[in-house]
Structure 1
């Protein structure tokens, strides 16, 4: 296994553990941010301000009322998107596993 693959796996496992019932919200936030940074999400997104993509806080707020928000965002992360937040498309993130995308989606939804 490549070290980058192991690092991504480790970050994903850490995020899943951090989002469990008994973990602190601060730890979950740090683990989510670490995974987002490792997977280059922060190249286009910021937690609190719009950049090339929307602020992740805004994404969380927009989808907070959807019952299917975690699954919906997971698919947007994996498959990409166009036209939802403006003219800049979000590319598919084929380097992510479905579990990593689900972990990122869950973390983003905590940011509202």
Structure 2
């Protein structure tokens, strides 16, 4: 069983577990912290601000996953969010779910 878990972790399948710890690690690994913090504005909005803005929006995960990959501007002012094409589609979804889980 431990070998299976190790393979899943190494393969990046933790997104299916819903582990906040794993998602926090992915957030850090994906360099999101260069512009975002959990509870304070940096270059971009805090994760709490983003979660609050999209609270109740059933399409928020998809919207944010696309924004993570493609970048954008205008939602939080004129400072652009650079695209993150190196982030896989699956990881972008995990990151979006993580951001939306922040309270």
Q: Would the TM-score normalized by the shorter structure come out above 0.5?
A: yes
Which residue does 1:90 correspond to in 2? 81
Distance 1:58 1:66 in 2: 14
TM-score w.r.t. length of structure 2? 0.84
What's the CA shift string for 1:53-111, capped at 9, x where partnerless? 00011101100121101111111111101011122100111101100100100111100
Query: How many correspondences in the alignment?
Result: 95
Larger Rg: 2
Distance 2:44 2:10 in 1: 26
Task: Report the RMSD for the aligned CA atoms in angstroms.
Answer: 1.6
- Unmatched runs of 5 consecutive residues or more in structure 2: 1-8
TM-score w.r.t. length of structure 1? 0.78
Trace 1:22-61 onto structure 2 (pairs within 5 A).
28-61=19-52
Which residue does 1:64 correspond to in 2? 55
